[in-house]
Structure 1
Amino acid sequence: MKKRMIAAAVLTAIAVQSVPLTGSAETVGVYEAEDAVMTGNMKAIEESGLSGGKAAGNFAEDTDSLKFTVEIPADGTYNIVINSKGYGGGKTNNIVIDGAFAGTFDSTADTYSDSLMRSVLLTAGTHEIAITKSWGWIAVDCIKIETAKAIPHSAYEVDDTLTDPNANADARVLFSYLCDRYGEQVLSGQFADRGLDSDEFRAIKDVTGKTPAILGLDMMDFTPSRVALGARSDAVERAIEFHNAGGIVTFCWHWNSPTAYLKEGTEENGSPRWWGGFYTRNTDFDISKVMDGSDPEGKARIDEDIAGIAQQLLRLQEAGVPVLWRPLHEASGGWFWWGAKGAEPYKALYKYLYDQLTNVYGCHNLIWVWNGQSADWYPGDAYVDIIGEDIYVDKHSYTAHAAKFSEILDYSGGKKIIALTENGTIFDIDNVIATGAKWACFTTWNGGFITANGQFSDEHTEAEVLKKDYQSEYVITLDELPDWESLKNGNLRGDVNNDGSFNIADAVLLQKWLLAVPDTELSDWKAADLCEDGVLNVFDLCAMRQELTNG
């Protein structure tokens, strides 16, 4: 598939002229832990075989940290390599850059090894890189700064064949469009229970003049155990409404544990357990016993739930709505029951759900978005169309999450679209371009991440950043989506570059072709024949401009 890629030099918050974007990594600095600023009860530790003869640890208290002052030679993207070991087991701790949380790294049990944070965007000059306690109980030998390899263009050349061989035309057309836009533009998205009529959508429109291209909704209150306790939802109706307005719909599923397995009493905040019945803390449901056959009652209950959700997905299929379907999300965190028993039972459940919805119930309008959040939890390419990641960072931290994007590329060898399926603060599109971490979309969570008291709130994302993102030529909004029916029929009028949309780029291309500019080709000349006379000339160009002017 021929694709146009976002040019890293076109729209950059940081120029990247001095650091090569391709080629092998080059070390630009090594910093010993014993020379870093130690806070709390940190101490230097003498051990043989270390780069400077000493390490620093132990990160036993929340106030413990190491602060390195590093020198960056030129604006660009860099890797941070942390050499450390965990005491008594593997450990995970935090990296903070210039006071802002940047991500986490892992330390191997009782053996010094390197952990890599990739593609961090840094300006030339002095920066503070701090290691702070999450789990704690590690020793750090040193950190190394090296230039980062560029994310190759080939990472965005993905196959537009869905994993479901019987996927319907609606799903195929949407997925083909997503594949074509991937690496070129980023789709805007917003979770909002009330869809177009929500505070979230109104707030975004008020600030930016634009409407998100993707609406995020939840199948939670269609779960039979919740329905039996009085839950109701109009999410399917909201999805159909948004689809009819030309938008794209994504659904997650906060899947409630079967009622019989809920713990007694109330949650810590006094709410009934079933309100948060998807949380591990509220249920004794053991998915490992269900999947190995030792809990047939539990198996019967999840089969009832799957049947109930399939009914709603089939309603959407009947209405012609393709769905970016994201079940069993954030599994590796363990806070949801489907991830509480480890990777293997989770993967078995994911595959079972895929088989039931696809092959038993015939839900062929689904594009399967896997969101397990760890490579060890990946169920395999045969069950995944898109890899999703949920990332929440500090308020007003507009990082492109390039380190995580680069990590996810390894999950499937770069063969799958990668999407930011949930976020709090929205990244700055300039940083996405500068780092080359071209997420397929962002999808901001609802409520306080975008509004307060029914109005826009800049608590997480400032208005100027939101406006810049939504008005960027590299961000797709609702008004810029293609006519899906025309795409399905293969005859979108005016779309001479065959990118699924009729816009000014098509008029520019036709004009260049008429002027015989070298190497100019029309992907679909029939789409340019607006006069419908079998001839392409200046009259077609005038008609095209007139249609674009008239909207």
Structure 2
Amino acid sequence: MNKLKYYFIAALVGMSLSACNDDDNSYNMLDGLGMVNRSVSIADGVTVRANTLDRITLDYNNLVGINPDKPVTLNGQTLAPVVNPENRMQVIIPVALQSYTDYTLVIPDGAFHRSDDPKVMAEGMTITFNTNTGVNVANLAQSLINPNATPEAKKVYQLLLDNYGNKQLSGAMGEVAWGTAFCDLIKNNSGKFPAIVGFDYIHLASSPSNWIDYGDITPVQTVWDAGSIPAVCWHWNVPMEVWAGQSEIGNWGALRLDKAEVPDAMTFWQNAGDGTYIVVKFKDAAADAQGSLKDSDWGGLMSSTEYFDLTPDQIAAGEYRVRLNSEAAEKVRNGGLIVSGQNYTVTGVYFELTCRDTKEVKGFDASKVLTPGTRENTVATADVAKLAGYLKLLQDANIPVLFRPFHEAAGAYQWTWFWWGNSGVEVTKELWIWLHDTLTNDYGLNNLIWVWTANYNYGMDLADIETLQSEYPGDAYVDIVGTDIYKEAMSDQSAIFNLIQEAVNGSKIIALTETGNLLDPDSQFENSALWSFFMGWYEQDANGPGFLTWNLNGEWNTVLNNPLVLNQGDFSLK
């Protein structure tokens, strides 16, 4: 017992002397103490980035000597450890690591000893670690998933492959749908035009019209001819069913869909804006039937909706449609609405059009899209046929597309915000595969490079690998995996890059498919986490495009003029 006490006191003395002497070179031997390792700079079993680790250090409780007859090895190769001259109680082992390699560091018994007494030796140790992270081009899919991909699509993918890990392509949404105003603003700000320009088929239901026509491919053609790559996402707007059933509107009866009676419906009403259509479906309308839409306080939404006669055409169609102005839309957002009138039976109320939805309401039930005869199937198949026609125009013009349908397709299933995620992970994957097979096999579209968006977080935490993998449609249906990040400007988000890369086993190019603030290319490169490309989201107000919320301190100029970033004119695909 006394012997144990003396050892404990000696250890305390050793710690005390060590602490006192760390700041100078007047070290004294701690007589009677053995060689005890106090710390190692790398833990057993960890994953590290090859370019961030050039030495391994070991700290001891005493001044260290090195025995050259007891070689320290890394994967069988002899290393050259040295004693830190500034702190002679530390050993420095220089290392030169390669990416995607498993390592075993072997320090034999007696490799290190007390400098004044080689017979007092340190115990050996073995440490395993790996560098299985960062970009590994050799592990990537070397071709597109479509064996019949157009030559132009193959060239785009090869460009991304050739530059992956070394250069990053700039990108920005052109504007809300079918123009390049935001990219033009970036050019004026930075002197550089983005390498990738984003478009959106968000207004598919309204095209063609006098304000949007996806059949006019001039904006996309201009971008391609100028040397940039078109990217197209699809906020798939559909008619949302707010209510369905039978509600007889006799003599000024009412169907209340306001916040007091149906609070879940407020999910839809929050998206009401100037120009939004409310569609009321009905049956059994008398010749003198009248319709009426009121706000939650029973006031008229607009003078035209206070009450109105249902026309013969409306009665024949079994529906009437009301286009909200900005004042009426605000009333709907604040309180919902009340359907009233006289002498007809309401069978459905729809919000047209939006992609927003929830699990609780399911205004457009994703699980019914692939079931023939359902409203969802009828709408979806018609929309895909229409979309395919517009994409075919681009293929016929030899224009490839970075195609990102089902915007943020992974969703965030505990707080779903788009309809394609309202029925769970498996349904969303089925929809992705169905759309891929339909556009590729049924419509013969070979100009598409399929870009899937991973959901990297759940609340404030990074998602786990198993969750990301459970959401992934599979390597056979995805060319590029991306994610959307809204973080601090010029920050380093390598942890997110690593997470997504690990989820797909490093087999797919990883891109930043949407971002508010731009991230720092230098830190990405240093951490071997350089996104293949980034897509800055557009901003605009009544005065047009602008830097309103993000990138307020010249980040577009800084990033697009970084030598790691490729812009329009820095490469050729022709």
The interval holding the TM-score normalised by the smaller chain is: 0.5 to 0.7
Q: Tell me the secondary structure at the aligned position of residue 371 of structure 1.
A: strand
- The two structures have a TM-score, normalised by structure 1, of 0.56
Does residue 365 of structure 2 align to residue 286 of structure 1? yes
1:268 counterpart residue number:
270
1:347 counterpart residue number:
429
Q: Deviations over 1:62-95 (max 9, x none)?
A: xxxxxxxxxxxxxxxxxxxxxxxxxxxxxxxxxx
Counterparts in 2 of 1:165 and 1:277: CA distance versus 1, 3 Å: same
Deviation at 1:454, TM superposition (A): 4.2
2:341 counterpart residue number:
none
Does residue 354 of structure 2 align to residue 277 of structure 1? yes
Deviation at 1:403, TM superposition (A): 0.9
Q: Tell me the secondary structure at the aligned position of residue 199 of structure 2.
A: strand
Q: What is the rounded CA distance, in whole Å, between the counterparts of 1:27 and 1:262 in structure 2?
A: 68
2:399 counterpart residue number:
321
Counterparts in 2 of 1:198 and 1:325: CA distance versus 1, 3 Å: closer
Q: Which has the larger radius of gyration?
A: 2
Q: Give the alignment partner of residue 175 of structure 1, picking from 132, 157, 162.
A: 157
Q: Is the 8 A contact 1:375 1:411 kept in 2?
A: yes
Q: Tell me the secondary structure at the aligned position of residue 364 of structure 2.
A: coil
Q: What is the rounded CA distance, in whole Å, between the counterparts of 1:279 and 1:148 in structure 2?
A: 43
Deviation at 1:232, TM superposition (A): 2.6
2:221 counterpart residue number:
240
Q: Deviations over 1:195-242 (max 9, x none)?
A: 9974422322222111101000001112x4x44999734473311111
Which letter does structure 2 place at the counterpart of 1:400?
D
Deviation at 1:148, TM superposition (A): 10
Deviation at 1:275, TM superposition (A): 5.9
1:129 counterpart residue number:
none
Q: What is the rounded CA distance, in whole Å, between the counterparts of 2:217 and 2:172 in structure 1?
A: 16
Q: What is the rounded CA distance, in whole Å, between the counterparts of 1:170 and 1:20 in structure 2?
A: 35
Q: Is the 8 A contact 2:517 2:550 kept in 1?
A: yes
Q: Is the 8 A contact 2:490 2:518 kept in 1?
A: yes
Q: Give the alignment partner of residue 374 of structure 2, picking from 296, 304, 324.
A: 296
Deviation at 1:301, TM superposition (A): 2.0
Which residues in structure 2 correspond to 1:393-542 (within 5 Å)? 393-394=487-488, 397-448=489-540, 453-454=543-544, 456-457=546-547, 459-482=549-572, 484-485=573-574
Q: Tell me the secondary structure at the aligned position of residue 370 of structure 1.
A: strand
Q: Tell me the secondary structure at the aligned position of residue 443 of structure 1.
A: strand
2:295 counterpart residue number:
none
Which letter does structure 1 place at the counterpart of 2:270?
E
Q: Is the 8 A contact 1:289 1:295 kept in 2?
A: no
1:217 counterpart residue number:
199
Q: Deviations over 1:323-354 (max 9, x none)?
A: 00001122322200001111000111100000
Which letter does structure 2 place at the counterpart of 1:409?
Q
Which residues in structure 2 correspond to 1:62-77 (within 5 Å)? none
Which letter does structure 1 place at the counterpart of 2:556?
L
Deviation at 1:194, TM superposition (A): 7.8
Deviation at 1:159, TM superposition (A): 2.7
Q: Is the 8 A contact 2:238 2:353 kept in 1?
A: no
Q: Deviations over 1:123-175 (max 9, x none)?
A: xxxxxxxxxxxxxxxxxxxxxxxx99573442575233111111111111111
Name the structure with the higher helix share. 1
Q: Deviations over 1:493-545 (max 9, x none)?
A: xxxxxxxxxxxxxxxxxxxxxxxxxxxxxxxxxxxxxxxxxxxxxxxxxxxxx
Q: Tell me the secondary structure at the aligned position of residue 145 of structure 2.
A: coil
Q: Is the 8 A contact 1:156 1:183 kept in 2?
A: no
Which residues in structure 2 correspond to 1:14-413 (within 5 Å)? 21=52, 151-154=133-136, 157-193=139-175, 198-222=180-204, 224=205, 226-227=206-207, 232-234=212-214, 236-258=217-239, 267-268=269-270, 270-271=272-273, 272=276, 274=351, 277-281=354-358, 284-291=363-370, 293=371, 296-330=374-408, 331-333=410-412, 334-373=416-455, 374-394=468-488, 397-413=489-505
Q: Tell me the secondary structure at the aligned position of residue 179 of structure 1.
A: helix
Deviation at 1:300, TM superposition (A): 2.5
Q: Is the 8 A contact 1:207 1:463 kept in 2?
A: no
Deviation at 1:258, TM superposition (A): 4.2
Q: What is the rounded CA distance, in whole Å, between the counterparts of 2:385 and 2:57 in structure 1?
A: 54
Counterparts in 2 of 1:311 and 1:466: CA distance versus 1, 3 Å: same
Residue segments in structure 2 that go unaligned for 5+ positions in a row: 1-48, 60-128, 245-256, 259-267, 279-350, 456-467
Counterparts in 2 of 1:151 and 1:160: CA distance versus 1, 3 Å: same
Q: What is the rounded CA distance, in whole Å, between the counterparts of 2:369 and 2:179 in structure 1?
A: 40
Q: What is the rounded CA distance, in whole Å, between the counterparts of 2:138 and 2:221 in structure 1?
A: 30
Q: Tell me the secondary structure at the aligned position of residue 479 of structure 1.
A: coil
Counterparts in 2 of 1:197 and 1:216: CA distance versus 1, 3 Å: closer
Name the structure with the higher strand share. 2
Which letter does structure 2 place at the counterpart of 1:389?
T
Give the CA RMSD over aligned residues.
3.5
Counterparts in 2 of 1:297 and 1:172: CA distance versus 1, 3 Å: same
Residue segments in structure 1 that go unaligned for 5+ positions in a row: 1-17, 29-146, 486-551
Q: What is the rounded CA distance, in whole Å, between the counterparts of 1:328 and 1:24 in structure 2?
A: 46
Q: Is the 8 A contact 1:22 1:149 kept in 2?
A: no
Counterparts in 2 of 1:188 and 1:268: CA distance versus 1, 3 Å: same
Q: Tell me the secondary structure at the aligned position of residue 280 of structure 1.
A: coil
Q: Tell me the secondary structure at the aligned position of residue 239 of structure 1.
A: helix
Counterparts in 2 of 1:409 and 1:25: CA distance versus 1, 3 Å: farther
Q: What is the rounded CA distance, in whole Å, between the counterparts of 1:404 and 1:299 in structure 2?
A: 36
Which letter does structure 2 place at the counterpart of 1:376?
S
Q: What is the rounded CA distance, in whole Å, between the counterparts of 2:471 and 2:159 in structure 1?
A: 28
- The two structures have a TM-score, normalised by structure 2, of 0.54
Q: What is the rounded CA distance, in whole Å, between the counterparts of 1:464 and 1:322 in structure 2?
A: 31
Q: Number of matched residues?
A: 343
Q: Is the 8 A contact 1:195 1:239 kept in 2?
A: no
How much identity, in percent, do the aligned residues show?
32
Q: Tell me the secondary structure at the aligned position of residue 357 of structure 1.
A: helix
Q: Is the 8 A contact 1:261 1:285 kept in 2?
A: no
Counterparts in 2 of 1:426 and 1:269: CA distance versus 1, 3 Å: same
Q: Tell me the secondary structure at the aligned position of residue 550 of structure 2.
A: coil
Q: What is the rounded CA distance, in whole Å, between the counterparts of 1:385 and 1:296 in structure 2?
A: 31
Q: What is the rounded CA distance, in whole Å, between the counterparts of 1:300 and 1:432 in structure 2?
A: 45
Deviation at 1:469, TM superposition (A): 1.2
Q: Is the 8 A contact 1:190 1:444 kept in 2?
A: yes
Q: Tell me the secondary structure at the aligned position of residue 498 of structure 2.
A: helix
Q: Is the 8 A contact 1:326 1:368 kept in 2?
A: yes
Q: Is the 8 A contact 1:385 1:416 kept in 2?
A: yes
Q: What is the rounded CA distance, in whole Å, between the counterparts of 1:417 and 1:312 in structure 2?
A: 27
Counterparts in 2 of 1:181 and 1:27: CA distance versus 1, 3 Å: farther
Counterparts in 2 of 1:414 and 1:375: CA distance versus 1, 3 Å: same
Q: Is the 8 A contact 1:194 1:238 kept in 2?
A: no
Q: Deviations over 1:415-454 (max 9, x none)?
A: 1000000000001222212222110011100115xx8944
Deviation at 1:391, TM superposition (A): 0.8
